[in-house]
Structures are given as structure tokens and as C-alpha cells.
Homo-oligomer: A and B are copies of this chain.
């Protein structure tokens, strides 16, 4: 489990999108190499207001509205990052991120490797992701698994305001390229204290949000909240659930995952994306190979169905709810 050395005296309440905004402000103030780019991020402050006030504070040379082209945004970021800038690019919704994949796979994630350390590519791509906000088609995807398998690209997903701030600061400081996915359904869920100048959080550790002994609930992003709610329900039934926020999908903190299963012997992995080929498979596979003898029940995966996220009239039926998580946990106990 992780202790964050934050000073409570400087903590101020923020929601998640405010934490993104604050982290960007603080990172730009701390390091003039940090620049921000994307569509509608300067004058408009971003469609979710994540970049609000940056243009006013740091000027248009560091806060750039780009032409409408995601492949361009990625390529610009790669070019800037190789020359010492630290670009933080926003992709407006994850459904529009696919045009960046070629630059990310073939260049960003390899630049250091193929130049044997001569050049590096410390960029951050931020994108809001996930369903549940009644958005139009292509605005509700969770395709993190596409990215989590790209060697050299870190994939980070926060699930609370404090982790958003701490992980985003760490991502911006990180000398490697980072995809930073923001679960937009919980952008404004609650305001919680965030210590602005605490230590940056580690980019390769799970967070144990709740300790438990009977079953491990493993998730990330917005689903952490259904997962915590499931843990509450299970508690009412006398079942002690450990809740792990994976937070960094690549590199993956296998140690913490194996440790929790060694303890509980049962795992439920929860994510919004389809099950088939989803990142839950990687975690389940890890448990099945490295913790097999500790498994007292099959690893359960509670996920979206194997289809694209439906338009919003049906999206709630596709996303895993607390009831499905609870039922899966109970199945592992009744096995």
C-alpha cells in the first residue's frame, strides 16, 4: 500500500477536473518547458474546462489551440518532446484518439530505444474516457487496452482528485511518454482535499484503497466507484473485500496484485471496456500464472459486453454495475 507524503495543511478541496487543471497550472509554473496543446484548449479552456486559465496565465506560445487533426497533435508532440519541451496534449475524447496511434506506437514509445538514448520523448497525452455521461456516439469509449500493450508507453488512469493531481504531475515530470486517461464520468463527482505540492505519485504502483481478507476487487478509473460501493455492500454481508486501484496499466505492478491474491485467494477484475481482449485479461493471466496455487476460485471478470459502447439509451445496460460486481464476488466465495 502506498503512503503519499502530502502535507494536509496545503490541501484544498477539488474535484477531478479541477485537479487536472491545478496540476497543469502548477507544472507549467514549475517548468517552462511544459507546454499544452490541443483542440479548443486555449481560448475555450477545453470542452471540460481542464485547461481553463492556462492561456491567460502562460500565453499562447505555451498554450496552443491546434488545427483540428489528432495525428498532427501527436506528431507535433513527438517533435517537441525530442527537443526538450514537455508537451501535454489533450485529445478531446478518447473516441478521437485513434489517429494518434501511429505516432505513439511507431515513434513516441520507441524514440529513446531506437536512438539508444540520444533522444527521448517525454510527452503526455491526456484524454477523457469512459461512458455514463449521456454523450453522443464515439464519446464514451474505454479502449485503454489498445494502449496498455504498447511497449515503452506508460498508461496511467487516476480515480480520485488527489491521485489525479499526483499522477498527472508525475506523468509530466516523467522522462517517458505517458498516456493519461481521465474517467470523465467522475470528473465532477466530489470535491476532496488535494495537496498541491505533495510528492508526485509513483507511475508503476497500484493503490490499495481498502484492505480486506476475503476477496480482492481490482479495477481502475470510474469503475473504482462502483467497486467501492460493491465493497460496502459486501461488508454489509460480512464479506471483507480488498479494493485495488490498478492506476498504471503499463508498467503493471504485478507484485501488489499477486500479494492481494496471496492474501484473499479470490479476484474480481472490473472494467468498463469489453471483456474480450480487455486489460482484465492481462491481470487474470498474471494471477493464473504467478499466483495459481493461491487461487481458491476462478478469477472473475466483470466488464462491458463484447460490443462497442452503445449509444446512450442502452449504455447503462452495457456498463458493469455494482450488482454485477457483488454477484461475482459472491460467486468466488461460494465456489
Q: A interface vs B, CB < 8 Å? A: 71, 95, 98-99, 101-102, 105-106, 109-110, 113-114, 137-138, 143, 145-146, 148-152, 250-252, 273-274, 276-290, 292, 295, 297-301, 306-308, 311
Contacts and interface: CB of A to CB of B under 8 A. Distances in A.
A273 B251 CA distance: 16
Contacts of A98: 101-102, 105-106
A1 to B, nearest CB: 23
B297 A292 contact: yes
B106 A151 contact: no
B109 A308 contact: yes
Contacts of A143: 105, 149
10 closest Cβ pairs, A-B complex:
A149-B277, A288-B288, A284-B285, A98-B102, A281-B285, A281-B282, A289-B298, A292-B298, A281-B281, A98-B101
A109 B99 CA distance: 16
A252 B276 contact: yes
A297 B290 CA distance: 10
A247 to B, nearest CB: 16
B276 A149 contact: yes
9 contacts: A99-B99, A110-B308, A151-B274, A151-B276, A282-B285, A284-B288, A288-B295, A288-B299, A289-B298
